[in-house]
Structure 1
Amino acid sequence: MAQPFLLHTYPNGLRLITVPMHDTGTVTVQIMVGTGSRYETPEINGISHFLEHMMFKGTTKRPGAMDISHELDSIGAEYNAFTHKEYTGYYAKSSADHFEQILDVVTDIFLNSKLVPEEVEKERGVIIQEINMYLDSPRHHVGNLFEEAMFTDSSLGWDIAGPKEVIAKLPTDQLPEYFRTHYFAENTIVGVAGKIDPVKVKETVWQYFSEMRRGERHNFLPYQIKQTEKRVKIFNKATDQTHLIVGVPGYGLNDERRHAANVLGIVLGAGMSSRLFTEVREKRGLAYYVSGGASCYSDVGDFTVSAGVENVKLVEALTVIMEQLKRLRNEPVSEAEVRKAKDFMRGHMLLGLETSDAFTSYYTDQLLYREKIVTPEEAIVNWGKVTVAEMQAVANDLLRPERLNLALVGPFQPDDQTIYSSLKL
């Protein structure tokens, strides 16, 4: 099943997690740093993402972006970076014989990027166009709107890319300052998975990071749910389909109730035989896509339903979705549905952990914020222990009318009362 992992902490606080995989010919190197848009202030919202872009613009050893991309393309590597609300990651994946080369490149990017002012100005325009692209994509935009509604009193509700007006005016000197504040050894994790020798990896990684400076982590305020009435955000846009997300705050990564919430979410909206897919699409033809489930940040999460529905059938679709949420809260889930959901989760996890990059992400994502790393085997055991009674308790705790949030993008006015009146939980 899953591969064993090895965790090592170096003298400067840098952590290394390795996952040897003997049945693969690839290797993935991923470097994670514990900062993202949740660590920002309104004046610099989007800087984590901006900095991630700039890290590919050149180092002393590889002066330009093309030097980096040409070297990695020349060995057929896959590479990229990503910004989350709570972390930022940089990675490359290649054939196992190129391990030292991709480690050299990714480490060089992470430690030695030059952040040249001229490149900052060029990339500023690129990021503004990226934001425009997201705004033009209703399915993406509705996700940002939903978190803005639910986490309205927290930086969790802010867009990772930031507002265009902030990006347009962000001072160039803020980028190296932000780098110095958050990119240090104790706040960094190196993950390596694939066809590797863990001992050699440990020695090689230390050669690169032995002089990385230490620092002090900046903690955000833990999120506290204070919502006392439903919230609705409607973005009026001429679309052929209305995209919506409706849901409530959920549990964080270290809350044991998340296991029951995960199983509950599978019953509700995972797969083409789920309750939502059956009722919304198969029986009524109200949506092309509809799904639901639970997800987590470090200290809070969500329990949501997403759908794309025909404009004229929005209220009908919302009514059916609300009926399914009420059913979940008011009626115990059958033992047969619970067994099916657990088997679904087990199979889905095993299928998703067949590659070196999947294992690297699985472990590094956890290491930053979980109190204890949960192996795939342990996760399956945790799901297996969930009872119908626990799921019922979680449904009653989560699905409270006063904690309901709705975001939608479509040809509707923000004060449309037919939409508000259909949100009855």
Structure 2
Amino acid sequence: MSFKGTKKRPTAREIIAIIDAMGGQWNAFTGKEVTGFYVKSAAAHLETSLDIISDILINSTFPKEEIEKERGVIIEEINMYEDMPIRDIPDVYERLVFGDNSLGWNIVGRKDVIRKIKREDFLSYIKERYSPKNMSVIIAGGINPEKTTELVKKYFSEMRPFDTIRYEKVIVKQGKPKAYLKKKKTEQVHLALGVLGSSLLSPDRYPLAVLAAILGGGGSSRLFNEIRDKRGLAYYVRTFPQHYLDNGAFTTYSGLNKDKISEAIKVILEEHRILKENASTIGKDELIKGKEMLKGHLVLELEDSRSVAAFYGEQEILEDKIETPLEVLKKIDQVTSDQ
């Protein structure tokens, strides 16, 4: 809704036409802990980009007719995800793992809530949460830091800081195994199998990342070899950790033939058991490969200026300090098989 019109630019077409005219890209995104708005453009158009972003944050009008149209768009987005099990299963899984709370809820929302939402709800949400005290402006690319700082002051200084409503800390305790089956007529079954993991600020973050790379991080990983190459049970299998401020999860996902589920679960559990009971099975070469995979992915990702902005921005908003890519690469290198 934020690109649907402002006091300065009353229609979405006016906003988008300006971005198109400079060859830019635009969007907004919502996670469980951050919301972001961005315009990506050539460095020569930095001021225009800041003008637009500040305008939609400060002066969005949320026209009622646009809300009605967007309501239908979001409901169809939900329907689309429901028809894409590979996209839907992480949401289903996190609801099971984290429970009926803000961390377990689906980001896109529920249809019954979306059908009821009003313009006043948008205004109230912004009034309670969109404060400079709770916000960061991140700019990455070929910029002049001094001039850029002045431009940020120029376009965002009219925002008045206030104390925002804070989220309630989510405490997850699990005393026994959990399982949930979501039935839908499909050709393939999608499986998520995992355990509670570490929070975003935990020292276990990097060891878990390397472990995930070894277990199910690529075409030469243990699970890919056992499940796809040796047995032909699945097209995809991957393992990765998910970290939030309060909690985390360590999860393997796979798309399987419905007649092969039991066999696949046994293989996944067996590979977990091997690593749990005998970490020495991770040899020197396998450990190095896992680290280099993570490091290579990070380096390639940071070739894009938007990814650079996200790398620093999420740290600024969520973490205690900002680390450079070199510092992160060093922490990955320091991981040992004993961890």
TM-score higher than 0.5 here? yes
Paired with 1:98 and 1:171, the residues of 2 have a C-alpha distance of 35
Which of residues 108, 111, 119 is equivalent to 2:58?
111
Paired with 1:217 and 1:169, the residues of 2 have a C-alpha distance of 24
Tell me which stretches of 4 or more aligned residues in structure 1 moved more than 4 Å: none
After TM superposition, the structure 1 = structure 2 runs for residues 209-248 of structure 1, keeping only pairs within 5 Å, are: 209-248=156-195
Structure 2 gap segments, 5+ residues each? none
Alignment correspondent of 1:55: 2
Alignment correspondent of 2:33: 86
Percent of residue pairs identical: 42
Alignment correspondent of 1:354: 303
| TM-fit CA distance, 1:249 | 1.4
After TM superposition, the structure 1 = structure 2 runs for residues 233-312 of structure 1, keeping only pairs within 5 Å, are: 233-312=180-259
Paired with 2:125 and 2:278, the residues of 1 have a C-alpha distance of 50
Paired with 2:47 and 2:158, the residues of 1 have a C-alpha distance of 19
Residue 371 in structure 1 maps to residue 320 in structure 2: yes
TM-score, with structure 1 as normaliser: 0.77
Give CA deviations for 1:110-167 in whole Å, capped at 9, x if unaligned.
Answer: 2211012222122111111111111111111111110110011431110111110111
Alignment correspondent of 1:123: 70
Which of residues 72, 82, 88 is equivalent to 1:141?
88
Paired with 1:189 and 1:71, the residues of 2 have a C-alpha distance of 24
| TM-fit CA distance, 1:334 | 1.9
Paired with 1:162 and 1:244, the residues of 2 have a C-alpha distance of 22
TM-score, with structure 2 as normaliser: 0.96
| TM-fit CA distance, 1:254 | 1.0
Paired with 2:58 and 2:195, the residues of 1 have a C-alpha distance of 39
**Equivalent residues, number:** 337
Paired with 1:214 and 1:285, the residues of 2 have a C-alpha distance of 57
Q: By percentage of residues, which structure has more strand? A: 1
Which of residues 193, 200, 213 is equivalent to 2:147?
200
Alignment correspondent of 1:338: 287
Give CA deviations for 1:297-342 in whole Å, capped at 9, x if unaligned.
Answer: 1222110001101111111111111111111211212222111111
| TM-fit CA distance, 1:190 | 0.4
Moved more, 283-292 or 149-158: 149-158
* Contact 2:206/2:332 (<8 A) preserved: yes
Cα separation, partners in 2 of 1:303 and 1:159, compared to 1, 3 Å:
same
* Contact 2:130/2:164 (<8 A) preserved: no
Paired with 2:221 and 2:35, the residues of 1 have a C-alpha distance of 33
Moved more, 219-228 or 310-319: 219-228
| TM-fit CA distance, 1:361 | 0.7
Paired with 2:74 and 2:293, the residues of 1 have a C-alpha distance of 38
Paired with 2:168 and 2:273, the residues of 1 have a C-alpha distance of 32
Give CA deviations for 1:365-401 in whole Å, capped at 9, x if unaligned.
Answer: 11111011121111111111122211xxxxxxxxxxx
Alignment correspondent of 2:134: 187
Paired with 1:177 and 1:222, the residues of 2 have a C-alpha distance of 22
Say which SS state the counterpart of residue 155 (structure 1) adopts. coil
